[in-house]
Structure 1
């Protein structure tokens, strides 16, 4: 299978998930601004939205959207227990939705954008406080978003990593700080992050 990524984008979560579950994939780097893969392929023919990640299975089927790809990868290796069953599966989807809509798009997308207006960035910082406080409260007294490490933690690892660029004050969220430190003790997270940091070129 092929996993289409850009260094340190949210597609980092797919790399973490692959390493956590012991799966192999061909990583295809994408320049989303140019709309091309590193091999020169027109990326919009793979994902018309032009965004990463995308996944192409060995039989040619294409899947997009982070939450869907992460659950697909987890389900290929159910023994890895990266996506629980029963009611916990809906809790997993709850956290994937929260990370995607409330943190990724609402907070970090405006703050990371070089063209977002100043008033929009100020609003994102205001909105960050409530959302990070909610996350901090949930993580207090627990190791992971669910009872065990899951693909939601892989996604959150990628998103929280962006704070190195936007520099929100995480010191007032001790549970989040402890959580980030705990993430970096996992070999799969360490390996995935190190590989993508080595590839990253700031705009």
Structure 2
């Protein structure tokens, strides 16, 4: 069975959502980034030397790290669910473009805001950049249900996960109506609710 190591509310919520959407059998193992202690008391660094989540261990014993790679692996196990377009198609490259944008322009942009050592004036620079990126994204969502059109993909789960964070860091995104509508649509999905309940977020 697949094993997903996660920390509640962290970026690992994205593959957690993908696993529920895919309907795959898996075990979710809490690996809180605050303690790096697993439920049995052992050291998570012995599982993943980098110490961060998500981390997916396959039945074969092979493992994958990095959320954008993990969610594509999950999607490719159940092609009939259309969680990612077919490999080699232009649409697949568009999906990868979205996953990279979310990972590098949004996800990594939030990291300094969670770091108490970063000075307030520096944090404001990161906040301003995030708002500019999110405002552009809000425009891209105009007139569509999801990032890729009318079909939910693993990129939507990742975007939903990352846009859960603004309230935690004092970033006001209330003016972004298309993003708000997108977030409400994704939040209503049963797989998203199942993942959030499992992580104690609901």
Name the TM tier (shorter chain): over 0.9
1:149 pairs with 2:147 = no
Deviates more, 1:93-102 or 1:109-118: 109-118
Alignment equivalent of 2:119, drawn from 110, 117, 120 = 117
The answer to whether the Cα contact below 8 Å between 2:84 and 2:153 also exists between their aligned partners in 1 is: yes
Quick check: 1:31–1:38 contact (8 Å CA) kept in 2? no
2:166 to 163, 178, 187: 163
Structure 1 alignment gaps of length 5 or more: none
Number of residue equivalences: 198
Matches of 2:153 and 2:119, distance apart in 1:
35
Corresponding residue number in structure 1 for 2:131: 129
Q: Structure 1: how far apart are the matches of 2:121 and 2:200? A: 30
TM-score, reference length from structure 1? 0.92
| Higher share in helix | 1
- C-alpha deviations, 1:94-126, integer Å up to 9, x for none? 0000101101101x1122223322122111111
Q: Which residue of 1 aligns with 2:98?
A: 95
What is the aligned partner in structure 2 of residue 84 from structure 1?
85
Distance 2:35 2:22 in 1: 32
Counterpart contact for 1:46–1:62, Cα < 8 Å: no
Q: What does the per-residue CA deviation read over 1:126-179, in whole Å, with 9 as the maximum and x for residues that have no partner?
A: 101210111001001101000211000011111111123123222221111111
| TM-score (structure 2 length as normaliser) | 0.92
Offset, 1:44: 2.0
**Aligned-partner Cα distance in 1 for 2:129–2:26:** 37
DSSP 3-state at the match of 2:28: strand
- Residue of structure 2 equivalent to 1:36: 37
Q: Establish whether residue 138 from structure 1 lines up as the match of residue 106 from structure 2.
A: no
TM-aligned CA distance change 1:152 to 1:198, over 3 Å = closer
The 8 Å contact of residues 55 and 62 in structure 1, kept in 2 or not, is answered as: yes
- More displaced, 91-100 or 44-53? 44-53
User: CA RMSD for the aligned pairs?
Assistant: 1.5
SS at structure 2 position matched to 1:4 = strand
